Amino acid sequence: MLLKDKVVVVSGIGPGLGRSIAIRSAAQGADVVLAARTASRLDEVAAQVRALGRRALSVPTDVTDPAAAEHLMRAALGEFGRADALVHNALAMPPIKDLLTVDLDAITTAFQVNVLAALTMTRLFVPALKETSGSVTMINSMVVRFSQRTMGPYKATKAALLAVAQSLATELGPDGVRVNSVAPGHIWGDSLQWYFGYLAKKRGVDPREVYEETAANTDLRRLPLPDEIADAVVFLSSPMARAITGQCIDVNCGEYHH
């Protein structure tokens, strides 16, 4: 029970990683505050948290709206009276295009969700996190570990998010608040399974072939599951990581080394 009686706030709740972070946190003893724009997703995950014997608070939130973000903070503290861990999982994917040709408005939207919203949420929760010597974990991506055509817009947002996390670790360290990042590789969840099926259909091959080709680039010859990414987040949110801050843990089955 790494998070026994802790309160974990998770943004970007959905059917994939956000859900896994919430459920794995609850399984380790945490009460969970769930934030996303889609209320139906929140209700489903909240029911799963409660089935594990923990409390859940659902707060429909557009994290790019400062008033909505402040409402989330006040609702969380009003319900539980504390916050021990904040997890930024909200994501807006910019177009997969070259930086020289991509629509700049689309990049601006991605920066607002991926970077500025994470900073805004952290600033709002800092007073509560100082009281609990809490932590912040920002979900990054292995895209920061390589350079590839058409991935520039996405890498730009995630590289900025990594810089924000590292700088916040320096700023908040004297107050006992830790800030870290988790960088997943390919996550073998519903979205990637659908995409591999789409690629397989285009090529006229079995989806397993696409999976094996991708997994061959990893040391473990497989792709990480959502729960395996979430377990890294749980660890960083727990007292087991009490001396870890300013770090980025890569969870990619050895596809890239850092």
Catalytic center residues: 154
Q: Given the DSSP bridges, would you call strands 178-184 and 248-251 parallel, antiparallel or unpaired?
A: parallel
As a whole number of angstroms, the distance between CA 194 and CA 207 comes to 9
As a whole number of angstroms, the distance between CA 19 and CA 192 comes to 16
DSSP assignment, residue 255?
S
List strand residue ranges (DSSP E) for 132-253, in order. Answer: 135-139, 178-184, 248-251
Q: Roughly what angle, to the nearest 10 degrees, separates helices 17-27 and 39-51?
A: 20
**First-to-last C-alpha distance (Å) of the chain:** 29
Q: Roughly what angle, to the nearest 10 degrees, separates helices 104-111 and 152-172?
A: 30
